[in-house]
Amino acid sequence: MEKNKREKYYWNVCLLFMFLSPILIYHGLNYKMRFDVHPFYYGISMFVGLIAVFPFEVIPVLLSGEKYDLKIGAKHPKYEFETTAGMELGQAVEEITRRLKGIGFSVNEKKQGDAMTVLEFKKDKTSMAQSFMDCAIRGSVRLEKKFSKPDIKTEVIYWDTLIMDSGESEAMNALARYISLDKAYFQYQNLNLTLAAGTMISFILNILFYLHYTGVQRFESSLFVSAAFGAIGLIIFGLIFIFKDRKYLIGTRVGIASLYLALLTFIPVVNALISN
């Protein structure tokens, strides 16, 4: 799912749950729940939230009939792009090197005669990879002068196992075009996985509350409270990541909305504390 569609999809689902939230508020004010946190429910909720992201994002794409390459478990997926530079070989090498170093890559230049230069670039994975540019990336740019202008062939490799394509293919495309001098700037933003997982927990919590309040299925209070803390923790961390890396991460409105949905859990808890 493309970056903008992905963030908008989460936002639209948040709007749906917020539209229905007065029902939960009404029931919460007329219901009492014990404040009880269980480590098992806390841990399992975060695991479920992370796993639920994948079907949540894939299902609507499949239902829409759009062409979609799942790329589940793809090891070192790559993207290639070819074009012809609008400048001389030496100038192109200098500009591509400048662009690569400007976005954090180390560059190794290899000359193969007077008519060909190969630039090998790489960037290691950061300790907490939340955006595409935090991931380990390798690649090469081959510039070959056949006529007056050099031909450019760029290969970008995602140097890790891609659990599921949540916009990485689009990012590799944008990066390859920028490196190849086809685009004047590299701009890629996405919703980080931490925030997406926390948002998924808040969605699931709201659904479980509807089932609980209507009597379809009863759940322990420790499940709700523990999962709510898990959701809130992930959402807050997700928002912190956005504030620290606004260049590559988006989703502030999704984070605020999902935080509101998760906090609905504590209405019956506060009601019980006030009553006591």
Q: Determine the pLDDT at residue 234.
A: 95
Judge whether 276 and 34 are in contact, CB under 8 Å: no
Kindly report the average pLDDT of the chain as a whole number: 86
Length of the chain equals: 276
Query: What is the helix (H) or strand (E) element at residue 218, kind and residue range?
Result: none
DSSP 8-state symbol, 134: G
Supply the pLDDT for residue 266.
93
pLDDT, residue 61, reads: 67
Q: How far apart are CA 169 and CA 191, in angstroms?
A: 15
pLDDT surpassing 90 at residue 248: no
Helix (H/G/I), strand (E/B), else coil: 62: helix
Residue located via tokens 């569609």: 5
3-class DSSP assignment, residue 190: strand
Q: Could you state, in order of their start, the residue ranges of all structural domains in the chain? A: 3-68+191-275, 74-188
Q: In the prediction, which pLDDT does 67 show? A: 55
- Model confidence at 3, pLDDT cuts 50, 70, 90, reads low
Answer positive or negative: Cα dihedral of 160, 233, 30, 219: positive
Q: With 80 as the cut, is the pLDDT of residue 200 above it?
A: yes
pLDDT score for 170: 79
Q: Does domain 74-188 have CATH number 3.30.1490?
A: no
Burial of 184 (0-12, 13-18, 19+ CB in 10 A): exposed
List, in sequence order, every beta strand (DSSP E) within 25-170: 74-75, 78-84, 106-111, 116-123, 137-145, 150-158, 161-162
Q: Is the pLDDT of residue 66 over 70?
A: no
pLDDT digits (tens, 9 = 90+) for 9-39: 999 999 999 999 999 999 888 888 888 888 9
Q: What is the pLDDT of residues 112-135, one digit of tens each?
A: 877 889 999 999 887 666 777 778
